[in-house]
Amino acid sequence: MILTTTSPSPYSLPAGLPEALDRLARTPRLLVAIDFDGTLAPFTDDPLRSRALPDSHLALIALWKIPATKIAVVSGRALDSLRIVADPPKGTILVGSHGVEMQMVVGEDPDLQLTTQEITDVSDLNELLDEVAEDHNEVWVEHKPAGAVLHTRGADSAEAQEAEHEALADTEDEFSSLLVRPGKDVLEFSVREANKGEALRELRRRTHATGVFYAGDDLTDEDAFAVLRSGDVGVHAGYSGRTRAPFQVPGPAQITVVLQYLASVRAAVSRQTATMA
């Protein structure tokens, strides 16, 4: 009898990525910025039940412990929701609503001040989208501080398309300026313009980072990939074929391997520096 084992072979990082991470790990002040849903956490039907893959979470904690290394979770989620699901170590920077809400220190109030007009618009927008969602099966609305998101993940594609068309037509009639952002099974409306690219620029400035790692899976992460500079490393989670990220991996499970690799080389560099000092 011949016995064969089918244990999976360990994932090897795409060509060039280990070398790029080796170089980045030597930067004096490293910023590790990462998207949550679809990158740290696999997608779930109930957004509040999403959690980062345990080993990715551990790798982030390992990075967070290394001197001169800052961690930021950069998400389209509202900050309140991100705080619950990300469960970050103290000192992690949280960026919610694609940069509208930025919390540099845990416990500190995020920077978000809306004008009276914006507050009225958000309330009208939510009311309007709730009406659209009511007319469609498995379509629901996520309420956010500066906007709202129409979720269609559970709906069949005809129903989803109809709901999105309706939401677009109704909001166009109602609001003069509204930022519309399509994503995976979501259509997001915001009264405040912000994107992950601007957020990442701001994070680089505020953390004085000399090198940046960024990973994300969605269209909105492309803005962040676009502001990466020479020496930074961008990794797209998922093979979209349309990303600006220089490297692609299949999804969250492989992002774990990337983070573990970065944590181990950064820790080694940090130990070396400490010995030499």
Interacting residues toward Mg ion by CB under 5 A: 35, 37-38, 217-218
| C-beta of 121 vs 218, nearer to Mg ion | 218
In whole angstroms, the minimum distance from the beta carbon of 89 to Mg ion comes to: 20
In whole angstroms, the minimum distance from the beta carbon of 100 to Mg ion comes to: 16
| C-beta of 33 vs 66, nearer to Mg ion | 33
In whole angstroms, the minimum distance from the beta carbon of 81 to Mg ion comes to: 13
| C-beta of 18 vs 183, nearer to Mg ion | 183
Integer Cα distance of 212 and 235 in angstroms: 11
Chain position whose Cβ is nearest to Mg ion? 38
Burial of 261 (0-12, 13-18, 19+ CB in 10 A): middle
| C-beta of 128 vs 150, nearer to Mg ion | 150
In whole angstroms, the minimum distance from the beta carbon of 69 to Mg ion comes to: 22
Q: Are the C-beta atoms of residues 192 and 179 closer than 8 Å to each other? A: yes
| C-beta of 35 vs 166, nearer to Mg ion | 35
Assign 236 to helix, strand or coil. Answer: strand
Nearest to 35, CA basis, from 169, 167, 225: 225
In whole angstroms, the minimum distance from the beta carbon of 33 to Mg ion comes to: 13
Residue 166 Cα distances to 163, 180, 247, angstroms: 5, 13, 37
Integer Cα distance of 215 and 86 in angstroms: 15
